[in-house]
Structures are given as C-alpha cells and as structure tokens.
Amino acid sequence: MGLKIYLDGKLVGEEEAKISVFDHGLLYGDGVFEGIRAYNGLIFKLEEHLDRLYNSARAIMLKIPLDKKEMKEAVLMTVRANKLANAYIRLVVTRGKGDLGLDPRKCPRPTVFIIASTIKLYPRELYYKGLEVITVPTNRNTVSAIDPQIKSLNYLNNILAKIEANLVEVPEAIMLNKDGYVLECTGDNIFIVRNGVLITPPTYLGVLAGITRNTVLELAGKLKIDAREEVFSRYSLYNADECFLTGTAAEIIPVVRVDGRVIGDGRPGRISLRLMKAFWKLTKKEGTPIYKRGMM
C-alpha cells in the first residue's frame, strides 16, 4: 500500500500526487521546503521548522495559503494517515502553476504538498566509526546572490558539490566560500573541536542556521562545553581534534578524515560522542505529539 500525500488540502495516494508541468517549483526551483523528523511519536522541533519555512517564504515574497496552525495540522494529518511514529517529513511550498516565463505574478496560487515517509542517510555503524569527506572546488553561493537562510527548492549548487563527492566515492562534501573559508556541507552544517572548544562557522558568512546545528549549540551550553561561532579555514579543519556534521536527516555524525588528512586520532571524539548521546536522548522526550492517547 502506497503512501498518502498531502496535496493542496487533500490526502491522495502517491500515484495521484501530481503537480502541473507549469509549476514554477519544477520549472525554476521557485519555492521553499523543510525536512522534519519524528521520533517515537513526537515531531522534533516542529515549531522551529515552521518558523523557518514561513521566514523563507516571506523572503522570496511567497504567500503560503495556510497559516502556521493550519500547516501544523496538515503535517500531523499526513503523518497520522501513514501510521508513522518515526518519520522523515518533507514539507514543500512552490510558487504554483504559471506560464513558461519567470514572472511569479503569473502564478495565482502556491502549491503545498507534504510527504511523510522514512529516511536512512548513513549506515548506523558510521556514527561510531566516522565519515571520510572532502572539500570540493564548487563554492557555496554568496550571501549577496542567494541568502542561504532561504531554504529554497533550488539546490543545484549543493548538487554539483555532491556530484564531486560521488566522483571520489565519499558520502559528503564540504563547501567553501570564495575566500576559502569553510562554510557547510551539501546537506549538513559542520563543527570542529580544538583544545576543548566547539566551533562552527557563523551564519553571516553564508551558512544555513540549521535546526540541528542550533540544537547542538544549546546542548553544548547545558553540557558546559565552550561553543563559539568563528570563521575557520581548511588548515584549522585539518588540524582539528574532532569534527562532526549536523542535519535533520544526518542528526550528528562524526568525521574522521578530510581530504586524506586524519582528524584527531582517527576516531569519533569525546565531545562529539557526548553531544550525539545528548541529542538522541532529547529526541526521545521532546516534540509535538502525533497521536492522542489511544489513536494509533
């Protein structure tokens, strides 16, 4: 039995979940999205994800046809319809159907769809062994061109970097800015640890303020780990004691080798593992309940 997809106010089967070939989300990547996780019947950081979705839409002058309360109910309805307790939720708002021109004024109504399914980005053993990643020639888009705080449907910049990672058969790529400073990966934020200090690039440099990234910074405060937002280069990355990536799909995953350089002692570090355990513990108890007692 296929998934039930929310599409413009209705739940439809995945085979019937279709949008127009004239939709500007398809034609031009004109739209915004969020990836959201549910754990053990709780949707993690749902309010924060919705805030970011609506902020992204406001930034591109896209009027979402549901208010936040209605959107929250649509998300819950979609997860319930698929009888999921653990899920990956993809919430998408496009500019909608228009013509073959660029003008968004030709799109009278946005398209909204929600997919609730599952995701497994990395094998479980890599969370304890660590990843090997590379830096790539494809630079991250500049803030003056496309602000990375806008989580838009146009991911070609990230996809080009992902292709470069695929060519050397590593699972993720680190992207730099035009000045050679480390920004983020194709789908994840990045942290390093040096001399016991947790460091991540500042958002003003051109980094998405990831929900998991922000959660890690909050957890670091609670665990009395000194955490800072600082600019750093590949030199600092290569000489870090620890490194890990964060993202909604990836959660927190250690990195043990970058561009052939071993990070630290080549194993996930103590601070990385502390934060991983704290994050997993948090996901078990914090979130928006999907089901009322006795519903599932």
273's tokens: 């593992």
The dihedral sign for the CA sequence 87, 171, 2, 72: positive
Tell me whether strands 197-200 and 227-229 are parallel, antiparallel or unpaired. parallel
Residue 220 · residue 212 · CB < 8 Å: no
Total length of the chain: 296
Nearest 5°: the CA angle 105, 107, 112 is 135
Phi, psi of 57 (to 5 degrees): -65, -40
Please list, in sequence order, all residues whose beta carbon lies within 8 angstroms of the beta carbon of residue 92, skipping any fewer than 6 positions away: 25, 31, 32, 33, 111, 112, 113, 114, 115, 153
224's tokens: 């009395």
Helix runs in 12-67, H state only: 24-28, 46-59
CA count, 13 A, side-chain hemisphere, 176: 13
Per the annotation, the verdict on 151 as an active-site residue is yes
- Rounded CA-CA distance 180/233 in Å is 6
Q: What angle do the packed helices 270-283 and 211-222 form, to 10 degrees?
A: 110
Q: Which of 4, 45, 97, 151 is catalytic?
A: 151
Question: What would the DSSP string read from start to end of 60-105?
Answer: TT---SS-HHHHHHHHHHHHHHTT-SSEEEEEEEE--B--SSS-GG
Compute how many other C-beta atoms are within 10 angstroms of the C-beta atom of residue 273. Answer: 17
Catalytic site positions: 151
